[in-house]
Amino acid sequence: MTACSAARKGTARNHASFGLACLRTFTRTLARRLAQDVDQDLEHFQDHEIIRGILEQGRVLTEYAKDVDDKLRQTEMDSIQVGQW
């Protein structure tokens, strides 16, 4: 019996416990699945030249992606300003 199902019976306090227990169970399950997905993605893309280069630099992919997005956004804004002259 999981904590989620054990808290299902009884008082309002138990109902609150039920909600928290279910939320914890859901969060743990989601985190485990996300970790599996990340592992699968890393395995799939580990031989990709660009990804491998980023990882070899010791960079975190999400930070690298944010940097690229920021640079693209700035370039777009610069091009809009140049077009307004």
**Per residue, what are the HEC states of 18-85?**
HHHHHHHHHHHHHHHHHHHHHHHHHHHHCCCHHHHHHHHCCCCHHHHHHHHHHHHHHHHHHHHHHHHC
> Each residue of 13-68: pLDDT tens digit?
555 666 677 777 777 887 788 778 877 777 777 788 888 888 889 998 888 888 99
State yes or no: pLDDT of 3 exceeds 60. no
0.75 surpassed by pTM: no
Domains of the chain by residue range: 1-45, 49-85
